[in-house]
Amino acid sequence: MKASFILLSLFVTVISSMQAQVTQQVRAKRVTATQNQFPAKISTSATETNKKSAVLEAINFPNAYTSMKLRLPFASEEKTYLVQKTGHFFILHGDIIVGDDFPKTMAYSTPDFSFISFQWANATMPIVIDPSIYANGMGDIVHAAIANFNSQTELCLVPRTSQDDYVNISFSMNLGTAAGVSKLGRQGGGQPLQLGSSATIGTVMHELMHAAGFYHEQCRTDRDNFIKLHEENMQDDKKNQFQIEVGTAQSTYDYCSIMHYSATAFSKNGNATIECMINGLPVPCPDCLGNRTSFTQKDIDGIDKFYNKVSRFPCNSPFPNPNRQQMQFPGIYPSASQSAMAAFRQKADIAGKEHFAGAFPNFHEAKAGINTVGGTIFIKSTVAVWQDVPLAQLGNPSIDDFAARMRATQNYAVANGYLGGFPTYHHANYGSGIVCGTVLLGPAAADWRDVPIAELGNPPLDDIGARFRSANDYAVRNGYLGGFPTFHHANYGSGIVCGIILIKKTAGEWRDVVIIEGPR
């Protein structure tokens, strides 16, 4: 079915630049604290005196460990932990904030220890990105991590508007050896997630997973079936980094989880602190142990299971990045634009006759007898709507620029609560300005995803047909009816990603339609 939709790859200069969606709200830090007040989260039985003395100890010996009784999220009882004073925080397990000397610390003291109290409502985690992140060149990795959550999991990270509870991501030079630190689960108010200069995209994903409510994988209650710990190789003050917690693990044990320690974590001599076991026998650990690159499928499944219990608003648009690299869209040869528009109009006409909301070509063509047929995705009118939208409301894209109109339609769709959209490429003027036929997809019709261009087979950005075919093939490989590119792309620091709309199998049908009758 690979087809002959050939475009002259003639580069014209750049036409338009990515629409920066600068809606980011950056709030001044509301916490201005000061007094070294021991966090409220230690055991309710701890006396004021005990709190103060522990703080003093920690302050006098900045890297010293101090003993703290904590009832951690999801735990049924208190346990004693060694925690390390790092900057403003008391840190457990290397990077989990269990106390701070800011006044707003409801965490670990809430009387309600049910799962729900640490979950983010509606599976939506509001985020504030502090200006210090951008000032220290960390913007791209933070946005890349957020994009990975939004495109791969049920948990949706959105810019904070007025929500009471949110994660405040900021830069810190006071994290000691940690690349990042975070609280565990929703804690109430603006909770800190801090990153040091050694943080990577994987670090940010790891810390955000803590904020979402996940412990380290090797702390699971079933971990002794899968790993053996070697205390003799552990640094003495790190031995209780490996305490078992009840936690929120949802899937089976995952050596490759982005939440698992590496084999030599907290080793004092370079020898393994973690050995892998199957059926009580040592086995070589997989190379992926300690992965800080990407989510595993079990990480994704875990997040989805923990969060899909609640209804949520679809996470259907990219998290706006005020510092996104300004990528320029390649010019597309005008005749290629015109051919593509004609292909869309033909499909729109068939869709109209057959009472679908709309249809688009997937740009796969084949011979059927003497005719040439083209793959077409039809969208049901129960999950999408067709509308005439004034060109001005679309931002006045050039009427001759196929890709600019795709982008403009997608922006319009998202701004109006739809998941995505595409033009019919019919337009008219009924006397009050140009209106453009537009198909708008609801959340039941499709999903949106940012896909690395390499996963799409690196289609040339100025080749309309190649981009449609690659998006459609990607969609089909991932269990969808079909898909199309939004013609938005961006680089968050780890290569180009392309916006793709994935049409659900229940949303319509795929069919070959005759596009040229008779021999070519």
Report the relative pairing of strands 156-159 and 65-70 from DSSP bridges: unpaired
CB nearer Zn ion, residue 95 or residue 245 = 95
For 209, the token pair is: 């997973």
When the beta carbons of 223 and 427 are compared against Zn ion, the nearer one is 223
Structure tokens belonging to residue 284 = 């070589």
Q: How far is the CB of 334 from Zn ion (least distance, A)?
A: 53
Closest approach, Cβ 210 to Zn ion, in A, equals 6
The residue number whose beta carbon is nearest to Zn ion equals: 95
Burial of 218 (0-12, 13-18, 19+ CB in 10 A): buried
CB of 319 to Zn ion, least distance (A): 22
Q: What is the Cα–Cα distance from 422 to 438, expressed in whole angstroms? A: 6
> Which residue, 298 or 324, has its beta carbon nearer to Zn ion?
298
Interaction site with Zn ion (CB under 5 A): 95
Report the residue number, 179 or 471, with the smaller CB distance to Zn ion: 179
Closest CA to 72 of 96, 95, 53, 103: 96
Residue closer to Zn ion by CB (options 219, 441) is 219
Taking the complex as a whole, the smallest distance from the CB of residue 184 to Zn ion amounts, in Å, to 9
Structure tokens at 338: 């015109």
CA distance 117 to 129: 24
The residue among 95 and 130 lying less far from Zn ion, judged by its C-beta, is 95
Sequence-distant (6+) residues with CB within 8 A of 175 are: 86, 87, 181, 194, 195, 196
Q: Which of these, 507, 383, 382, lies nearest to 442 by C-alpha position?
A: 383
Distance from chain centroid for Cα 298: 15
Q: What's the min distance (Å) between Cβ of 152 and Zn ion?
A: 19
C-beta of 178: minimal distance to Zn ion in Å?
8
Closest separation in Å from C-beta 384 to Zn ion: 42
Closest CB to Zn ion among residues 183, 407: 183
Minimum CB distance to Zn ion smaller for 239 or for 380: 239
CA distance 149 to 169: 15
Report the nearest approach of Zn ion to the CB of residue 203 (Å): 9
Of residues 206 and 407, the one with the C-beta less far from Zn ion: 206
Q: What share of the chain is helix, strand, coil (3-state, %, to 5)?
A: 25, 30, 45
The upper half-sphere exposure of residue 40, i.e. CA atoms within 13 Å in the direction of its Cβ, equals 12
Burial annotation 373-395 (CB, 10 A radius, 16+ → b, else e): bbbbbbbbeebbbbeebebeebe
To the nearest whole angstrom, how small is the minimum distance from the Cβ of residue 193 to Zn ion?
A: 11
Q: Is the CB of 295 or the CB of 418 nearer to Zn ion?
A: 295
Residue 96 or 496 with smaller CB distance to Zn ion = 96
User: By the 8 A CB rule, do 422 and 487 touch?
Assistant: no
| Minimum CB distance to Zn ion, residue 98 (Å) | 12
Among residues 365, 363, 356, which one has the least CA distance to residue 509? 356
What's the DSSP call for residue 328? B
Contact 467, 488 (CB under 8 A): no
Under DSSP, the state recorded for 73 is T
| Nearest distance in Å: CB 216, Zn ion | 6
Sign of CA dihedral 401, 407, 410, 412: negative
Taking the least distance from each CB to Zn ion, the nearer of 95 and 100 is 95
Cβ 206 to Zn ion, closest distance in Å?
Answer: 5
Within 13 Å of residue 501, how many CA atoms lie on the same side as its CB?
Answer: 33
Beta bridge partners of 451: 498
